[in-house]
Structure 1
Amino acid sequence: MDNVVVVLELLVVLGAIVMGTRSSGVALGLWGGAGVAVLVLVFGEDVGSPPVDALLIVLSVVLASSMMQLAGGIDWLVTVAAKIIEARPKQITLIAPLVAFLFSVGAGTSNILYPLLPVISDLSYRNGIRPSRPLSLSVVATGVALACSPVSAAMAAMITLTEVGPYNFEMFDVIKITLPAAIIGIVLSSLVVNKLGADIEEDQEIQELIRSGKLPAPGASTAKELEVKATTEGRNAAIIFLLGVLAIVVFGLFKGLRPENAAGDPLSMTPIIEMIMFVAGTLILMVSKVKVAAIPDQTVFRAGMVSAIALFGLAWMTDTFISAHTSEIVDGIGDLVENAPWIFALGVFIVCVLTTSQSTATRTIVPIGLAAGIAPGLLSGMWAGAFAGIYLLPTNGSQIAAANFDETGSTKLGTKLVDHSFAIPTIVLAVTTIAAGALLGVVLG
């Protein structure tokens, strides 16, 4: 009878995830909360703990990053990124994804990529490089970037699970594995992606566009200017925000710098991140004098609030289920993941595909991996690579934007779900980063 109950409750959890995925956005949170109600009111389980710490980190980071965006900070970062990419146009299939990745790490959001897409497309074409190559990998690279960012919602969800006992695996411990693993994955993936699709001179569709006059020859292409402009206020806001990110890294690296709690132990990174982000947001307010009434209109704010709601509902439901059946999970899954740890990575990858939310995948699958006995270092490395899964299906806004900005038509969204330009880069980046992360996790964890 107990096994029947576990299966029925698991079906409730999976059903809530599927139903939330069908509607996406805040519906993920709504269905997660409904799932909690069924588990508690129908099956009589004890209510789980909502991810309060993770939510508070997300809210503080979203507020500070929205202040930066409103002041023009993201626009300034975009102009800097564009200059770096333009400096090495022949290596754009490697440089553009690395720049997109690093700037997404610093900003804690992949939104920085959107204004760069037309620049990447035009630069690659003018230099005789098929635009789909740098565009596709740049998009996918921003997915794994959030596993390396001190200020992403996914990292907030991760460290609130691992920094507590018995793991005591803090943010810096995670980043020292995920950051080099992701960079290795991007470099290796660029070698593969640089061979995908026909070269411009051999692509009959592109050549027909050139012959018909609808597309200029590569050497005659007119450079596209960025739609955003750098301002002094934006520069100051971005510097303040990035200094906040740096401060978080320093506090994570040097525990001795943190104040002590009542027990005499160094303060955890959760309140440290929250305080620093509030300070950064306040300084941006004072220096850039932004109109705070416009904060809710910022894309970073809207996306962050949607992520927070989804995280709230689904993580609460997952915690309720796992807390009620920890022993069954350990007994049933522990031996399986111990012999084949990649199954954990596959779980994160699949949830990323279904929900297109790294933070949701983190709160859904990471607790299961930890309960099953996967070492935090190994778990972190595989977790980062699995984030590429959000781009396996061509449903993400950045994928659609990349295809629209590619005037050659080489970046395709496909018609059969997996026949699009991002599918192979997604799989290759996931596999290479997971492999590198697993190795680094064993060595450094």
Structure 2
Amino acid sequence: MDTVIVVLELVVVLGAIVLGTRSSGVALGLWGGAGVAVLVFVFGEEPGSPPVDALLIVLTVVLASSMMQLAGGIDWLVTVAAKIIAARPRQITLIAPLVSFLFSVGAGTSNILYPLLPVISDLSYRNGVRPSRPLSLSVVATGIALACSPVSAAMAAMVALTEVAPYNYEMFDIIKVTLPAAIIGIVLSSFVVNRLGKEIAEDPEIQARISKGELPAPGMAGVKELEVKATVAGRNAALIFLLGVAAIVVFGLAKGIRPEVDGEPMGMTSLIQMIMFLTGSLILLACKPKVAAIPEQTVFRAGMVSAIALFGLAWLTNTFITAHTDDIVNGIGDIVQDAPWVFALGVFVVCVLTTSQSTATQTIVPIGLTAGIAPGLLSGMWAGAFAGIYLLPTNGSQIAAANFDESGSTKLGTKLVDHSFAIPTVVLALTSIAAGALLGIVVGGGV
């Protein structure tokens, strides 16, 4: 009977995720909360703990980053990134993904990529590089960047899960595994991606368009002007925000400089919240953005949607896991201990289905921790599996990349997995997961 109940409750959990995925956005949170109600009222389970700490981090980070965006900070970062990419155009399949990745890490959002897409496309084509190569890997690289950013919603969810006892695995412990693993994955993937598709001179479709005068020959195209303009206020806002990110990293590295609470260094959860509030306030004082326009910012809207989805789904999974911890340990523990890649596959699949790294974190990571995977190993595989959000051509940045590629080399396909991003997604996931697993074992630590 107990097994039947567990299975039925699992069906409720999976059903809520599927229904939320079909509607997307805030519906993920709505169906997650509805699932909690079913577990409590129908099956008599005690409600789990809502992810309050993670939500508060998300809210403060979204507020500070929205202040930066409103003041023009993201526009300034984009212009800096474009100059770096333009400096080494022949190595664009490596440089563009690395720059896109690092700037997404610093900003805590992949939105920074959108204005860069036409620049990457034009620079690559003008220098004889098939645009689909740097465009596809740049898009996928921003997905795993959020597992390395101190100010992403996914990191907020992860820290809230691992910082507590018995794991005591803090943000810096996670980043020292995920950041080098992601960079290794991007570098290795660039060698593979740089061989995908025909060279421009050998592509009959592109050559036919050039012959008809529909497309200029490589070398004749001009570098497109960015649609965004850097301002002094934007520069100041970006620098203040990046200083806030740097402060979080410093406090993460040096526990001794943190304020003490009950004789112990303060946890990073509260520090991140305070630093982000302070960062937003400094941007307000120095740059004077019109705060009434904050809700109109894309970062704010996306962040609020993520917070609602995180709330409902995390509460649902916590309720289920708390009620059946012993069953999960006994039933799944041996499997993931013998084959840890099963955990990575779980994160990858949820990313594919929900296109949300924070949702995958709150859904699968608690199961991995409960089943006994060491936090270091878990963190390494978790980061690489984030590439899964681009396995299907449903993400806005994929559509934008295809539209900005005037050569037509970047394709969305017609059979779900025959698009330009499919192979880069799989390759980056495999290389990053492998590198992350190794780093997690060697330097990751944890219980």
Structure-1-length-normalised TM-score: 1.00
What residue number does 2:181 align with?
A: 181
Shift of 1:338: 0.5
Q: Secondary structure of 1:47's match?
A: coil
What is the aligned-residue RMSD (CA, Å)?
A: 0.4
Question: What is the CA–CA distance in structure 2 between the aligned matches of 1:213 and 1:11, rounded to whole Å?
Answer: 57
Residue 240 of structure 1 is matched in structure 2 by 240
Q: Which sections of structure 1, spanning at least 5 residues, go unmatched? A: none
1:265 alignment partner in structure 2:
264
Q: Hey, what does 1:285 align to over in structure 2?
A: 284
- Letter aligned with residue 427 of structure 1: V
Which residue in the other structure is 1:121 paired with?
Answer: 121
Specify the SS of the correspondent of 1:37: helix
- What does residue 169 of structure 1 align with? 169
Give a deviation string over 1:186-238, Cα, whole Å, max 9, x none: 00000000000000000011001101111000111122010000000000000
% identical equivalent positions: 83
Alpha-carbon distance between aligned partners in 2 of 1:52 and 1:278, rounded to the nearest angstrom: 17
| Partner in structure 2 of residue 224 of structure 1 | 224
Structure 2: gaps of 5 or more residues:
none
- What is the CA–CA distance in structure 1 between the aligned matches of 2:255 and 2:358, rounded to whole Å? 26
- Per-residue displacement from partner, 1:287-334 (whole Å, max 9, x unpaired)? 100000000000000000000000000000000000000000000000
Distance 1:218 1:312 in 2: 49
Establish whether residue 350 from structure 1 lines up as the match of residue 352 from structure 2: no
Q: Helix, strand or coil for the counterpart of 1:220?
A: coil
Q: What does residue 143 of structure 2 align with? A: 143
Does the alignment pair 1:309 with 2:334? Answer: no
One-letter code aligned to 1:199: E
Q: Distance in 2 between matches of 1:224 and 1:335?
A: 55
Question: Where does residue 109 of structure 1 map in the other structure?
Answer: 109
In the alignment, is residue 334 of structure 1 matched against residue 318 of structure 2?
A: no
Residue of structure 1 equivalent to 2:378: 379
Equivalent residue of 1:218, what SS?
A: coil
Partner of 1:88: 88
Q: Which letter does structure 1 place at the counterpart of 2:242?
A: L
The Cα offsets for residues 369-400 of structure 1, whole Å up to 9 and x where unpaired, read as 00000000000000000000000000000000
TM-superposed CA distance for 1:72, in Å, is 0.2
For 2:69, give the aligned amino acid: Q
- In 2, the alpha carbon distance for the partners of 1:205 and 1:124 equals 17
Partner of 1:59: 59
- Partner-residue secondary structure (3-state), 1:48: coil
User: What residue in structure 1 maps to residue 4 of structure 2?
Assistant: 4
Residue by residue, what CA displacement relative to the aligned partner does 1:59-85 show, whole Å, maximum 9, x if unpaired?
000000000000000000000000000
Deviations 1:334-366 (A, max 9, x none): 000000000000000000001110001001000
Amino acid at match of 1:260: E
Classify the secondary structure of the residue corresponding to 1:407: coil
> How far apart, in 2, do the equivalents of 1:350 and 1:428 lie?
15
What is the letter of the counterpart of residue 356 of structure 1?
Answer: T
What SS does structure 1 have at the residue aligned with 2:13?
A: helix
Does structure 1 residue 192 correspond to structure 2 residue 153? no
Structure 1 residue 5, shift from structure 2 partner: 0.2
Name the structure 2 match of 1:215. 215
- Structure 1 residue aligned with 2:97: 97
Measure the CA separation in 2 of the matches of 1:91 and 1:392.
25
Which letter does structure 1 place at the counterpart of 2:219?
A: G
Give the counterpart letter for 1:370 in structure 2. Answer: L
Which amino acid in structure 2 is aligned with residue 397 of structure 1?
G
CA distance in 2, matches of 1:169, 1:385: 19
Task: Determine the C-alpha separation between the residues in 1 that align with 2:14 and 2:413.
Answer: 28
User: What does residue 22 of structure 2 align with?
Assistant: 22
1:264 & 1:354 partners in 2: Cα distance? 44
Distance in structure 2 (CA, Å) of the matches to 1:188 and 1:219: 28
